[in-house]
């Protein structure tokens, strides 16, 4: 089978700590941009799907934020690390190539967690890739349900991008007007790239 390469114009690679609001921010951005040009892709979705298959679990329940996922999170992280040790770009390729939004001009990668995730997009799509970090202070994250969990919050899946530089940092501490203005500005920047 010959794989057809996509030609996205803009790839926004989002990252952030647990409960920083990555999904909330990426959902808002996707709504601003519209379904016709953009699509959210989750790097964790194919990981969770394959993990669910191999461990006889409910894939849909692994996608939400319930206790169901939290019970297997540590083991799922270790399993994913073993897969990444074999091929660091495995989940990046799988999540984009199997996505229904593969041929849309704007990809929103909602959950990059490692340097190798960012490296894959920057090397594969150098002119299209922009890195975005969503931040929220610890008090805000705790108000959203964050509780430090050993072997999760101190693991590479949460810490590998600490100290990295990003093209854009979005403050998501609850100031909805500030967040809306930031996303509107980002939308205008993306729109200008699509019209060139």
Residue 15 has pLDDT above 70, yes or no: yes
Q: For position 1, what pLDDT does the model report? A: 37
CB burial of 59-97 (b: ≥16 within 10 Å; e: otherwise) equals eeebbeeeeebeebbeebbebbeebbeeeeebbbebbbe
Residues 125-176: pLDDT tens digits?
999 999 999 999 999 999 999 999 998 899 888 999 999 999 999 999 999 9
How far apart, in Å, are the Cα atoms of 118 and each of 72, 139, 160, 161?
A: 26, 28, 11, 9
Q: For position 7, what pLDDT does the model report? A: 84
Give phi and psi for 157, each to the nearest 5. -65, -20
Residue percentage of the chain with pLDDT more than 70: 96
> Taking a C-beta distance cutoff of 8 angstroms, is the pair 13, 168 a contact?
no
Binding residues for ATP, by number, are: 17-23, 144
Binding residues for substrate, by number, are: 172
Residue 2 has pLDDT above 50, yes or no: no
Kindly list the structural domains of the chain, giving each domain's residue range(s) and its CATH number in brackets, ordered by start.
10-194 (3.40.50.300)
User: What is d(CA 196, CA 170) in angstroms, rounded to the nearest whole number?
Assistant: 25
**Burial class of residue 43, CB neighbours in 10 A (0-12, 13-18, 19+):** buried
Residue with tokens 């790097």: 43
Binding residues, by number, are: 17-23, 144, 172
User: What is d(CA 105, CA 112) in angstroms, rounded to the nearest whole number?
Assistant: 19
How far apart, in Å, are the Cα atoms of 193 and each of 133, 136, 155?
A: 20, 28, 36
Residue 4 has pLDDT above 60, yes or no: no
Q: For position 5, what pLDDT does the model report? A: 56
Token pair for residue 164? 């990295």
Residues 40-85: pLDDT tens digits?
999 988 888 889 999 999 988 887 767 888 889 889 988 988 988 9
Residue percentage of the chain with pLDDT more than 90: 71
């Amino acid at each position: 089978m010959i794989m057809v390469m996509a030609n996205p114009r803009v790839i926004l690679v989002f990252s952030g700590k647990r409960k920083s609001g990555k999904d909330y921010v990426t959902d808002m951005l996707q709504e601003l941009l519209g379904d016709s040009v953009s699509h959210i892709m989750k790097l964790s979705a194919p990981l969770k799907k394959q993990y669910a298959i191999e461990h006889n679990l409910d894939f849909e329940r692994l996608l939400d934020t319930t206790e169901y996922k939290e019970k297997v999170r540590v083991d799922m992280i270790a399993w994913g690390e073993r897969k990444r040790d074999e091929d660091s770009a495995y989940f990046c390729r799988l999540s984009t190539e199997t996505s229904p939004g593969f041929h849309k001009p704007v990809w929103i990668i909602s959950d990059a967690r490692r340097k190798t995730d960012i490296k894959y997009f920057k090397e594969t799509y150098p002119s299209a890739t922009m890195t975005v970090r969503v931040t929220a202070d610890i008090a805000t994250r705790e108000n959203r349900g964050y509780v430090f969990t050993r072997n999760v919050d101190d693991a590479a899946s949460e810490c590998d991008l600490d100290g990295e530089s990003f093209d854009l940092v979005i403050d998501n501490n609850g100031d909805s007007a500030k967040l809306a203005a930031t996303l509107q500005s980002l939308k205008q920047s993306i729109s200008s790239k699509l019209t060139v």
